[in-house]
Amino acid sequence: MREIRMTTDELSSRAAELSVGDRVLLSGTVYTSRDAAHKRIVAAMDAGEPLPYDLKGAAVYYAGPTATKPGMAIGSCGPTTSGRMDVFAPKLLDAGLVCMIGKGPRNSSVVEAMVRNNAIYLCALGGAGALACRCITGCEVIAYEDLGCESVKRLTVKDFPLVVAIDCRGNSIFE
């Protein structure tokens, strides 16, 4: 197992370097999105409407952070079960999404789309959202504010600890 430091800007160009089990300390911009936001994003894509952020080369974190605590950029920010986004993920991957962050296995259509698009799936430690928030240095709601904790947020992360769960060749830690 290797430990690799990288930025979100490097994800597209360095995805092929990553293998299942590698530890990644990720820094840069990550967008939060869960079920309700994914549904709206896909509806906007289908309608040809502008998206909340450019999917090309983007990283999405399946999380619904709690209220911000004093002195912090964000409240507790642990991963959500990724399988709930599997119905939307292939379309987003085909549109340029390069990295998904969450917890739990993904279905075969998501893995096929990852391989097709040279994308990766990273897992964050479930149950440790209070610790994960310490790696988040900035948070801004950018879309769907009416969804509350499930609104789309632009996070700035610094050395966010993750594990490669499915690499861009389709190898999976879950198999």
Residues designated as active site: 38
**Which stretches does DSSP call E strand in the chain?**
3-7, 23-32, 59-61, 99-102, 120-123, 136-143, 152-166
Q: What are phi and psi of 100, to 5 degrees?
A: -120, 140
Q: CA–CA separation, 143 vs 141, rounded Å?
A: 6
Task: Find residue 111's DSSP bridge partners.
Answer: none
Whether residue 11 contacts residue 59, with contact meaning beta carbons closer than 8 Å, is answered with yes
Looking at residue 160, the DSSP 8-state letter turns out to be: E
> Which candidate, 164, 149, 124, places its Cα nearest to that of 34?
149
Whether residue 84 contacts residue 105, with contact meaning beta carbons closer than 8 Å, is answered with no
Looking at residue 59, the DSSP 8-state letter turns out to be: E
Extract the tokens encoding 70: 């004093």
